[in-house]
């Protein structure tokens, strides 16, 4: 049996809604454990911690808990009776077993009624270390023994496993992410899930048939992101609708901005109809020639639903690093038949809004976007 204590970050700062956030975190831990076939025997909340007991191996538990947003860090613990003799005996046994070059003790006293203060507990443990010839080193210890004195017992552990932080999925509303098959929208979706949103996806593909998406990179990306939110919906529609209607009717260099405005308009209509709170894209400011501020303004022309661009200020390297830490980079750069590669390479970099509006009107993108809704399928 493995006992795990879970600490959360921002959730603990919530005042009135604290119980709601804590409950939803516990619910998520349960659901994600179940999805990954962990044997969770017990889960309880209290003293700003979540306590779990698993009948599964540590190596299996660790990656699964890293999927749960809202967790700052977690620890595998030994639970010891809350009296000084038992605590000292435990510390002595660990020190003898590990025999570290140097040691530090870090005690937290959640139960303020415990008769010794944290500092005094540490001092007592320090005396045991000294008696065994182990040096105390507070600045750069080779080994740390942490203890948390809670109401019923004392938890001991020697290392912390960092979670991703963030907020529990489902506590910040539902958003629709435009997923392209490139790397940025994967990172953007992950960041929104991390911020507590439930994320569904809309993808415009360049195939002649939706079924060609089976086993595609897009499906794999959604599966990977679903590790963090259990499940989601993937909506797809062909890019050809836009291409056939607009082709040859404007200067090539405006293709990128027009297509972006069109997909946002489709997404907006779909989002309103299906009660999403916002749309998300992987747009970045000024990273590539088409992402100038003028172009971003043009692409968001006439979009009135909140539009989130969580990668707006990211350096390319920051996005790559993020994807690498979640093992999504290799998948995200796999070759894919993406519609933006069909679109004109020489994009306008400074699209004038007035001129752009005229093109949108001439092509009647509004009506096209409305009609396109009929072609969206749940994959
Ligand atoms: P990405 O790496 O996500 O493709 P990018 O830096 O290549 O982003 P663009 O290709 O210009 O930038 O796309 C910007 C954003 O527009 C994407 O992050 C995505 O949210 C949306 N987008 C682009 N193409 C599609 C598509 N075919 N289907 C759905 N959304 C798309
Ligand atoms: Mg792209």
All CATH 3.30.70.1510 domain ranges in the chain, comma separated: 2-79
pLDDT tens digits, one per residue of 46-105: 888 999 999 999 999 999 999 999 999 999 999 999 999 999 999 999 999 999 999 999
Protein fold of 174-378: Rossmann fold (3.40.50)
Residue located nearest, by CA, to atom 7 of ligand 1: 182
Residue located nearest, by CA, to atom 12 of ligand 1: 283
Mean per-residue pLDDT of the chain: 92
Q: Domain 2-79 - what CATH class?
A: alpha beta
**Quick check: CB of 178 below 6 Å from ligand 1?**
yes
**Quick check: CB of 296 below 6 Å from ligand 1?**
no
All CATH 3.40.50.620 domain ranges in the chain, comma separated: 174-378
Residue located nearest, by CA, to atom 17 of ligand 1: 282
Q: Please determine, for residue 201, whether its predicted confidence score (pLDDT) is greater than 80.
A: yes
CA of 304 to the centre of ligand 1 (A): 19
Q: Which two tokens stand for residue 117?
A: 């203060």
Considering only CA atoms, which of 36, 30, 31, 39 is closest in space to residue 63? 36
**268/365 Cα distance (integer angstroms):** 13
**Quick check: CB of 339 below 6 Å from ligand 1?**
yes
**278/375 Cα distance (integer angstroms):** 21
Task: Identify the pLDDT of residue 25.
Answer: 96
Q: Please determine, for residue 122, whether its predicted confidence score (pLDDT) is greater than 90.
A: yes
Q: Which atom of ligand 1 is nearest to the CA of 311?
A: 18
**Quick check: CB of 184 below 6 Å from ligand 1?**
yes
**Residue % of the chain over a pLDDT of 70:** 98
User: Pocket of ligand 1, candidates 180, 183, 266, 318: which has the most ligand atoms within 8 Å of its Cβ, to mutate?
Assistant: 180
Task: Identify the pLDDT of residue 340.
Answer: 67
User: Pocket of ligand 1, candidates 282, 313, 375: which has the most ligand atoms within 8 Å of its Cβ, to mutate?
Assistant: 282
3-state DSSP assignment of residue 68: coil
Please give the model's pTM, rounded to 2 decimal places. Answer: 0.93
Return the higher-pLDDT residue of 106 and 46: 106
CA of 260 to the centre of ligand 1 (A): 8
Q: Domain 82-152 - what CATH class?
A: alpha beta
pLDDT tens digits, one per residue of 256-287: 888 999 999 999 999 999 999 999 999 999 87
Q: Please determine, for residue 167, whether its predicted confidence score (pLDDT) is greater than 80.
A: yes
CA of 353 to the centre of ligand 1 (A): 21
Q: Please determine, for residue 249, whether its predicted confidence score (pLDDT) is greater than 80.
A: no
**Quick check: CB of 309 below 6 Å from ligand 1?**
no
Q: Please determine, for residue 41, whether its predicted confidence score (pLDDT) is greater than 90.
A: yes
Task: Name the H helices within the chain.
Answer: 18-35, 58-65, 84-98, 118-131, 184-194, 217-226, 240-246, 255-273, 293-299, 316-325, 329-332, 353-363, 365-372
**Quick check: CB of 281 below 6 Å from ligand 1?**
yes
Q: What single-letter DSSP state applies at residue 138?
A: S
Q: Are 253 and 352 in contact (CB under 8 A)?
A: no
Task: Identify the pLDDT of residue 254.
Answer: 81
**Quick check: CB of 292 below 6 Å from ligand 1?**
no
User: Pocket of ligand 1, candidates 177, 181, 184: which has the most ligand atoms within 8 Å of its Cβ, to mutate?
Assistant: 184
> 377-378 and 278-280: which strand pairing?
unpaired
Please give the torsion angle defined by the CA atoms of residues 200, 204, 209 and 214, in that order, rounded to the nearest 10 degrees.
-40
Q: Which atom of ligand 1 is nearest to the CA of 281?
A: 20
Rg (CA), the chain: 26
- The closest ligand to the CA of 256 turns out to be 1
Q: Are 172 and 97 in contact (CB under 8 A)?
A: no
**Quick check: CB of 183 below 6 Å from ligand 1?**
yes
Q: Which atom of ligand 1 is nearest to the CA of 202?
A: 29
All CATH 3.30.2130.30 domain ranges in the chain, comma separated: 82-152
CA of 32 to the centre of ligand 1 (A): 29
pLDDT-derived band at 345, boundaries 50, 70, 90:
low
pLDDT-derived band at 313, boundaries 50, 70, 90:
very high
């Amino acid at each position: 049996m493995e006992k795990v204590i879970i600490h959360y970050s921002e959730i603990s700062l919530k005042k009135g809604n604290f119980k709601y956030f804590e409950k939803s975190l516990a619910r998520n831990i349960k659901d994600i454990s179940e999805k990954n076939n962990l044997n969770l025997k017990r889960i309880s909340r209290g003293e700003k911690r979540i306590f779990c007991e698993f009948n599964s191996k540590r190596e299996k538990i660790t990656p699964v808990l890293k999927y749960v947003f809202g967790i700052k860090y977690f620890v595998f613990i030994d639970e010891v009776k809350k009296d000084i003799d038992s605590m000292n005996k435990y510390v002595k046994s660990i020190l003898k077993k590990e025999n570290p070059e140097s040691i530090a003790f870090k005690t937290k006293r959640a139960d303020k009624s415990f008769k010794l203060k944290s500092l005094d507990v540490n001092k007592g443990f320090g005396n045991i270390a000294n008696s065994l010839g182990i040096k105390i080193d507070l600045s750069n210890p080779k080994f740390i023994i942490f203890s948390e004195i809670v109401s019923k017992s004392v938890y001991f552990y020697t290392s912390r496993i960092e979670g991703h932080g963030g907020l529990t999925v489902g506590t910040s509303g539902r958003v629709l992410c435009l997923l392209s098959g490139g790397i940025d929208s994967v990172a953007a979706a992950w960041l929104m899930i991390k911020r507590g949103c439930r994320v569904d996806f809309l993808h415009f593909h360049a195939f002649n048939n939706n079924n060609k998406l089976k086993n595609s990179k897009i499906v794999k990306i959604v599966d990977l992101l679903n590790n963090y939110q259990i499940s989601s919906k993937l909506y797809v529609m062909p890019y050809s609708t836009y291409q056939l209607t607009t082709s040859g009717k404007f200067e090539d260099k405006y293709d990128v901005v027009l297509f972006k405005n069109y997909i946002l308009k489709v997404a907006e209509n779909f989002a309103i109809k299906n009660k999403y709170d916002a749309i998300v894209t992987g747009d970045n400011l000024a990273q590539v020639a088409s992402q100038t501020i003028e172009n971003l303004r043009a692409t968001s022309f006439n979009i009135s639903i909140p539009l989130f661009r969580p990668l707006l200020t990211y350096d390319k390297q920051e996005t790559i690093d993020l994807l690498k830490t979640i093992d999504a980079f290799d998948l995200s750069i796999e070759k894919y038949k993406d519609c933006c590669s069909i679109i004109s390479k020489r994009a306008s970099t400074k699209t004038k809004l007035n001129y752009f509006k005229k093109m949108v009107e001439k092509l009647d993108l509004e009506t096209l976007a409305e009609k396109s809704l009929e072609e969206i399928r749940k994959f």
